[in-house]
Structure 1
Amino acid sequence: MKRVFDRRGRGTWDEQTRVREDSRLTERRRADRRVRKDRRVAERRGIDTWADDPEKQDRRSEERRMGGRRSGKDRRKEQAAVPKFFVHELVNTSGSAVQSLPPTTSLRNAISILAIHKIGLIVVSTAEKGLLGVLSERDIIGAFYDKGAAALESQISAHMTRGVWTCSPDDRLSKVISTMTDNNMRHMPVVKDGLVVGIVSASDLLKVVMAD
C-alpha cells in the first residue's frame, strides 16, 4: 500500500500545505458527523432517510460491512475469508474504466459525471493520468457545507482529497481490504508506474468475499 501526495508519488507538501489540508479534512469530518447526526434524529422520529432509494440502501449495507475500524483479530478473519486474489484479477487495470477529470473542472460538472456514471468517486489527474487527488461524495458534502450553492462554480482542486492511499495491480486483495477498512475508505485508486489504471471499490470486494 502506498500513500500518494503528488503525481510523483512523494510527500512533497510544505508545512503550510499540510496545515491547510488537515484543516479542510477536519471541517469535512465535522460536516459528515452533522449529516449522520441529522439522519439519526430523523430515524428516531420515525423518518427513514434511506427509504425508497435502493442505491442508498445498498450503500448503507456496504458501509455497515466495510465502515468502522476492526480489531487485529477481526482483520485476520477478514483476510482469511478473502481468496488469494490480486487486484489485477478483480479490476480492469487498462485505465479505460477510470473516470478522471483535470483539477480545473467545476464542481457542477464533476457532480454531473458522478450522476451520469452512477459512481461515488472521481479521480483528479493530470492530462497524463498522474494522480493529484480524488473527489468523493464526502468532499462534495464538505464543499456545500463550506460555501453553499456557490461551491458549484468552484474548481474541484479546492475540494478534492489529497494524500490518497493507493494500491498496485499486483497487491493482494487482503491487503487492500485491511487498508480500506483501517482508513474508512469505499474506493482505492490502482496505480501503475505513477499512472491511475483502475479503481477498487468496496462493492467489488464484497462480491469477492460473498462469492467465495
Structure 2
Amino acid sequence: MMVKHILADKGQDVFTLRPDATIMDALSSLAEHNVGALIVTDADMAVKGILSERDIVRAISRHGRAALDRSVAELMTSKVRTCTEESTVPELMETMTTGRFRHLPVERDGRLIGVVSIGDIVKRRIQEIEREAEEIRSYIASA
C-alpha cells in the first residue's frame, strides 16, 4: 500500500502557514481545522518546516505567554522528513516510529501535495488486517 492510495481515500487537503505567522495564528488554525500539526510553506508550496502541538507546548513551557507572539519560523521544526506518493505504509511506519513524529508531509517535485498522519497509517493497517481476516474466513468456509 502506497501513500497515493491513502491520499486518494482521505483527500489532499493540507493546512499550511507562512513562516511569519504568529504562534497565536497557528493555535487558531490548529483549533479551526482540528489537526495536530501545520505545514510551514513558502508561496510556491515548498515545505519550510512543520509546527506541531508539541512544538507549541514546549515553547509555552520555555517562554510563557510571550511564546504566542513569536513567529512560526522561530519555533517550527525546520528539518522536516517528507515522503512521496510512492512511499509505502511500512516505510512510513518505520520513519514515524524512528523519528517519533506523527505527521509526514507528502511532496511531489519539491512541492507539498498532502500530509499523512499516524492516524491515517493506523486506519489503513486496520483495514488491511480486517480484509485479510475476511479472506481467510472465506477460504476456510469454502473448503
Structures share a fold, TM > 0.5?
Answer: yes
Instruction: Say yes or no: does 1:159 pair with 2:75.
Output: yes
The count of aligned residue pairs is 127
SS state at 2:81 partner: strand
RMSD: 1.5
C-alpha offsets along residues 32-52 of structure 1, whole Å, 9 cap, x if unaligned? Answer: xxxxxxxxxxxxxxxxxxxxx
- After the TM superposition, list the runs of 4 or more consecutive aligned residues in structure 1 that deviate by more than 3 angstroms: none
Cα shift at 1:211: 1.2
Correspondence for 1:168 among 71, 79, 84? 84
CA distance in 1, matches of 2:113, 2:56: 24
Give the equivalent residue in structure 2 for 1:113: 29
Cα shift at 1:92: 4.7
Give the equivalent residue in structure 1 for 2:64: 148
8 Å Cα contact 1:92/1:198 also seen in 2: no
C-alpha offsets along residues 117-161 of structure 1, whole Å, 9 cap, x if unaligned? Answer: 100000001011111000001100111012100111111100000
8 Å Cα contact 2:12/2:115 also seen in 1: no
TM-aligned CA distance change 1:149 to 1:92, over 3 Å? farther
Correspondence for 1:177 among 93, 103, 125? 93
SS state at 1:165 partner: coil
CA distance in 2, matches of 1:100, 1:88: 20
CA distance in 2, matches of 1:87, 1:206: 13
Please list, as runs of the form range in 1=range in 2, the aligned pairs for 1:100-139 lying within 5 A after superposition: 100-139=16-55
Amino acid at match of 1:156: V
SS state at 1:122 partner: strand
Structure 2 portions without partners, runs of 5+ = 129-143
Cα shift at 1:111: 0.3
CA distance in 2, matches of 1:92, 1:104: 31
Higher relative contact order (CA 8 A, sep 6+): 1
Structure 1 portions without partners, runs of 5+ = 1-84
Cα shift at 1:165: 0.8
Instruction: Say yes or no: does 1:208 pair with 2:113.
Output: no
SS state at 2:21 partner: coil
Cα shift at 1:162: 1.2
CA distance in 1, matches of 2:81, 2:97: 12
Quote the sequence identity (%): 35
Cα shift at 1:88: 0.5
CA distance in 2, matches of 1:149, 1:92: 40
CA distance in 1, matches of 2:4, 2:125: 16
Instruction: Say yes or no: does 1:87 pair with 2:11.
Output: no
